[in-house]
Structure 1
Amino acid sequence: MAVSVNLDAVLDPEFQTVDILDLVGAPVSAFAGVSEAEAEGLKAAFGIETIGDLADNPLVRAALAIREMARVAEQPPA
């Protein structure tokens, strides 16, 4: 089963037609709103160069887990 997703809103125009498998290796500056200078900051601070690096970063993963656990904690018991 083929799955498609439109990521145009989060990607710079030159990356909007890039295959999803290739986006993993794309620079974080491929995200709309992330400048080259900001991408350099991520590289300097955390060693993040690609979208895949960002997704695999332990701090990013921990932040996502904390957010999800907090959402569950906010929900009233069923």
Structure 2
Amino acid sequence: MAVTVNLDAVLDPEYQSSTLTDLVNAPVSALSGVSEEEAEGLRLAFGIATIGDLADNEFVRTAVAIRAMAGVASP
């Protein structure tokens, strides 16, 4: 079964027709709302150059896991 997803709202227009594989290798600035300057800051601070790098970053993954666990933790 084929699955489709519309990511137009989270991507800059020039990347909206990209495949998911291409998006993994796209610069972080391809994400809507991330400027070239902010992308450069991520590169300098964490070595993040692509969307794939961002997804694989240990700090990002840890933050996502903490948020998820906090959402199911009992008060």
TM over 0.5: yes
For residues 33 and 22 of structure 1, the distance between their equivalents in structure 2, rounded to whole angstroms, comes to: 19
Q: Distance in 2 between matches of 1:40 and 1:55?
A: 16
Partner SS for 2:73: helix
Find the residue that maps to 1:70 and give its secondary structure.
helix
For normalisation by structure 1, the TM-score amounts to 0.93
Unpaired stretches in structure 1, ≥5 consecutive residues: none
How many residue pairs get aligned? The number is: 75
Deviation at 1:61, TM superposition (A): 0.2
Are residues 1:70 and 2:70 paired? yes
Name the CA distance, whole Å, in 2 between partners of 1:26 and 1:43.
Answer: 13
Tell me how far apart the structure 2 counterparts of residues 46 and 74 of structure 1 sit (CA, whole Å). Answer: 33
Q: Which runs of 5+ in 2 are unaligned?
A: none
Give how far 1:74 is off: 4.3
Report the aligned-residue RMSD. 1.0
